[in-house]
Each structure stands twice: as structure tokens, then as C-alpha cells.
Structure 1
Amino acid sequence: MSALAEALIDLEAITSNVRTIASVTGTGLMAVVKADGFGHGAVKVARAALRAGASWLGVTSTAEALTLRDAGVTAPTLSWLHGPNDDFGMLIKSGVDVGVSTTTHLHAVADAARLLGAPAMVQLKADTGLSRNGAAGDDWPELVGWARKYEREGGIRVRGVWSHLADADLPGAPALTRQVAIFEEALRTARSAGLDPDLVHLANSAAALSAPRTRFDLCRIGIALYGVDPFGVSGPGEFGLHPAMTLRTSVVNVKRVPAGTGVSYGPEHVTGTPTTLALLPLGYADGLPRAAGGRAAVWLAGRRCPIVGRIAMDQCVVDAGDLPVTIGDPVVVFGPAEGDQHPPTVVEWARWADTNPHEILTGIGARVAREHLHGRARNS
């Protein structure tokens, strides 16, 4: 390991997860590779997901969409978060569908298409209760009305109608039922206006796996694509997803200290007995949440050892007790269980930091080298 830390990305886990989810949903899948593939590498994850049968890719921005195109990834792609002054012409020329949530954006996309002399593929988003992007109330009939006008003129083609769920990770939540009903009404409004979308999609990872009524034509899979159970299960869970990322490093310093030794800033931790402290070259600049200090653990010398004291920008300290730890010993910060090795999971790190696994994965910093493997990453 030449870098101080590395994230091993198991591409076979990505392909396995796509096939597993598809076997449950029975629909097409959109692999969401925004935020550089949740920190896993968007281009390589996209290719692995497409090989496994995903039919669409989802990104947030023009830059993310064009990164895929520049790498030669030509699969159908939806980009859904834009300012009204974005370069929609580049997306149109690159064959990227544009997610549209306001008439302001729709007019801008239609103007760009007119200048190019080529129609834009758009997917209209309805706000069904998340109160983020999407059109709601009277804005939705206005949006679909303008879309139909532009479609008749040949400036755009409405390829999809979609929305996003607020709490699909709570199976049976009343809000989910309400959102489905609102979405179905929005879809009826769009069709009554003369629109005939090829794609209708609502389900995210959690809904794809647990709420058949939300599946429609396509399911967008984000966190489940990367092998994390969307319901907060630390292991494979009932769906048998395989975590794709293993974060590992090695010990860079070891010291035996007496009881009463302060550790890291503050100090917020003082040793209660003589113990061995191991220094790891990973900190919050690399994606270890500062809030997890004093709660988190890593896999070292055959067992879980706690991180003690505050996590610093570049490093953290592990209490190894009386284990025979030496400089250079391997450490797994999180990753899948293998044999008798049971390192912490991303879900556990999220709990320790009072956040979600998405933030842990996307927070792994640029100083952490990525290595893409075509087999299960080894915890060693």
C-alpha cells in the first residue's frame, strides 16, 4: 500500500448488487453514480452496473454527466439538478436527459434546443412531498402544459415523469402511501395534457426493495448499489447486498503508555490502565467523522479496537490494549466481514457519527487512494 490509506472498490460486488436488486424489482434499474459514484469512482461503477444489466445512469450535474460522456460511457443518463443558466446545450449534444422541475428551467432548455436545432430529452419532476426539487400544486399543470407546447413544436421530448420519496426507508409509512397517490395524480395530469412519457419512476433503493407499488418502469438505486442495506442493517440483511468499499490503512506509530495518559486534544480521553496506543494516518480530512471519536472502532490485530480521544484532521489514535501491535500492521476501518474477520461496517460508522452511510461513503477524501478490484476486497 503506497498511500497512507486506500479504499478498495470491489466491482464484482457492484455487479452482484445490480443483479440482486433486479431480481427483486423486475424493472429496469437506474444506477445512481452521482458524487463520483458515492465515492467509489463514477466511471468504473457505471461500467460495472451497466455490464450487470442496469439500463440507465443517474447524476446530479452537468459536470458529472459530461465526465461519463468524456470517458466514453454512452448509456442513457439523467442529470437532475441545474441552475437556470447551466449549459443545457452541452447536455443536449451529449444525449443526456435533463431533469426539469420549473418552467424557468424548461424555458431555458427549450431555448438551448432551439439554438442547437435539436430536440432536448427532458424528464419532468413532480414534488410529491419531499419539498425539494419538483413542481407541486398549480405549478405542475403549468409545467406539463408548457412541456406539451414545446413538444408539439419539436423543441423537446418528454421522455420521463418522476419524483422522489421522503421516507421509503420506513416500510409502511403513511407518507409513502400519500406520495404514491400524489404521484399517480400528477401522472394522470401529465397524460391528460397530451404527454406520453416512456419512463415513469419513483422508487429509490429502499422503495425498490420493499414497496412494489412504487416501482413503475424504473427504479433508481443509490445506496443499495454500493452494498449498503437501506434499512440500516449492518450486515448483508435479507437482500444479500455486498458492500463494495473497504477502507484500510496501517499503523504508523505505536507507544506503550501508563494509566493517566491523555490522548489527543483536550484531552477528552485519559487512559484508565497501562495500554498500547496505535496511531493511524486518517482523520476527518479523509472522511472519518470527528463526531465518531470515542465511539468508533477499527479492526486491528484480529479484533475491534476503539478509537480514543478526538479524531484530528489527519490522524486518530486507537487503544490496542495489550495486543502485540507494531508499526506497519494493517487496519480495516470499515468493510465486509470475511471468515473470522468482522471489521466495522459503514452502517456502524454512520451510527457512531449520527449520520447516514451516504455521508460516510461520499466523505472519503481525495488523499485516500482508490483501487478497483474484480473480486472481493481482502481485509488485510
Structure 2
Amino acid sequence: MPKANNRVFVVGVGMTKFEKPGRREGWDYPQMAKESGTKALEDAGIAYSEVEQGFVGYCSGDSTSGQRALYELGMTGIPIVNVNNNCSTGSTALYLAAQSIRGGLADCVIALGFEKMQPGALSGGAEDRESPLGNHIKALAAIDEFAFPVAPWMFGAAGREHMKKYGTTAEHFAKIGHKNHKHSVNNPYAQFQKEYSLDDILSARMISDPLTKLQCSPTSDGSGAAIVVSEDYVSRHGLAEQAVEIVGQAMTTDFASTFDGSAANVIGYDMNVQASQRVYDQSGLGPDDFQVIELHDCFSANELLLYEALGLCGEGEAPGLIDDGDTTYGGRWVVNPSGGLISKGHPLGATGLAQCAELTWQLRGTADKRQVDGVTAALQHNIGLGGAAVVTAYQRATR
């Protein structure tokens, strides 16, 4: 495999507030993209004319919606690539932008993601063709009784499996929802900014045991963007003080083990293990070197499983991290200071870029009331079933 040569930096980030679908009248995806993209350009202190390529992610929309979105920033004839990788779409756009820089194909690239969603549970897609999740659903249905809505059933099944194997309780999952809602109180970009008691979380409407409504990410509208540049670009434009380096990044897709009879693997456990290990190998960093983590808590069960998949603890040990308060302020890591997908919201194409924005602010020390003390390295995880996992490690350029 060719070795990566060029260093990659994020020098500008921007996002919209995540909103309940349809809440902002007249707020279509071009307006969302203009808002997040303009903020990212202003944060970087550059004009859109500097951008040489664009990667635009979204899951619902027409084939050239990426062009229509970026045309709000300018029409300069650059290559624009439309990206769709289920819930990991935003991070996939970031991954492709970083590849362009790393490979020496460009000096300045924009990664942007947006989503304009319909209220309620996610639809199953086109009815005249096989679902890309068909094999995953069949594999899971062989070990757990099929139920609607499909996504919470899949992650709920993985949670139930963990409970059976390791004695995890419903309260452990609820504590994750409690933590993330509490974190979101300090995030002006979050769809929800209300703190709930643990009893509120536990007594909310059951969606797929043990997952209550307040442990499930909502449908959301919103957008995020990042300006990704080369080391030479950082030097020429004097951006070192605000630059955040991508020191490790990996994408994995499903392995044969996805269908080995484990609910955890159906929802991507092995993908997550492999992607994170590759990032640790690339960066020379391990789990204990990070102070802040934004990970894909589409459901609280996934966050719990990710503690183990990312190596924060051994298999079966995640409940201990939760009980000891190791994943919130004052603990070993602060996981999802933004409120995560559960409370910040989950506009599919924007999620990965919103995670990038939060971690960039954390590394710069500009996250206001959410700021984690002494941040020197940050870790990002984003997954889409069917499937792709993207893990990214960041450090300040001036470390």
C-alpha cells in the first residue's frame, strides 16, 4: 500500500444549529450549506476561490445536490463529488478531502455535509430493489426476533446481547442518555438543550428494549463543513495557530465476521475495532492519549459497545466505565461533549462534520462551557450500517 506523505490540517469549521425537520421555514439544503460553508471559510480566513475541490455528503437528495449546495458559496468550476455512505457520510466526505491533500492532488479542499430529513423513523429506501441492509437484517433476525422500527431494533438487539453476556443493565444504557442530554445543555448548536433525570430517561417511551426514546437519536435538519489543507498551505497563509492536524484516519467496511451470528458485529463492532486500531498505529496514539471523544451514539447501546470497540476498556467492561463516571467531565475521557447524536441531533450527512467541528473547537480551547481541560488529542468515530466506519485522530498543529 502506498505511504501517505503529505500532512493534513483542518483550518476552518462551521455548522448550523441542528433542528427538528421542517422547524425553520424556508430552510432548504442550499441555505443550510451556505450557512455552514460560509462559517467554515470565515473561520479559515479564506475566500471560496481558494478551494480547489469539494466533497459534499448527503443521504437524501438528487444526484447533483452537492453542486447545488456549493454553488451558494461560489461557482468556480472546481470538481465537486457527491458522497453517500449512510450515517457515516459526513466523515466519508472528510476522509476523501484528506486523501486529496495527503496524495498531493490539492492544497485546499472543502468537505461539507447536509441533510433535510422527514420526521419520524428512517424509511427503508426504494421498494423496487434489494436493500443494502438486507443481509444484515436477515443475519440479525436469525438470532433476535425482527421488529419495527428497524434501526432501533438492530441496536437494541446488540444491547440485549451485551446484557445477556456481561450482566449489563438497562440503567447503564440510560446513564449514557442522561450524560449526553446533560452535555447538550451547553451546546447552542444542539437540537435538544434540556437536561433529563435518570428516571426521565428510564421511564420514557420504550422503543426497543432497553432503548427508550431519550436514548435514541432524532431525525434532524442541518449542515456542517470543514476546510482541509496541506502543510504548505498552512505555512503560506500563517494558519498554524488555528490549524488542527489529522494525525490518523481510517475507513473500514464490513468483514465476513459481520455475519458470524453476533448482534454486535451486525451493527459494526469489528469494523470499529479495525478502524480504530489502524488510526492508533498511524498516529502512535492510544486510547489513553485522548482527552475528548466524539463518537456515534445513534443509540445508547452503540456508545456502550464503542467504549469496548475503541479500546477504552476490555470486552464486557463498559458498564464499569459508566458507573465510575469515566466518560464525562472529571473522568478519564469526556465522550460526546456536544451532546452526541442523541441530543445534538443526527442529520445523516452532516453528523461527521459536526463531530469534526466540535473536536476542532476543543483542541483550540474555544468550546466555551463545553471545554474539556488540557486537550492535546481528540478522537472521532462515525459509522454507517451497510457499512462503513470512519475513525479520525486530531492534534493541534502547534503542539
| Structure (1 or 2) with the greater strand fraction | 1
> Which structure has the larger Rg over C-alpha atoms?
1
On whether the aligned pair clears a TM of 0.5, the verdict is no
Per the normalisation by structure 2, the TM-score is 0.26
| Structure (1 or 2) with the greater helix fraction | 2
Per the normalisation by structure 1, the TM-score is 0.27
- Tell which has more relative contact order, 1 or 2 (C-alpha 8 A, sep 6+): 2
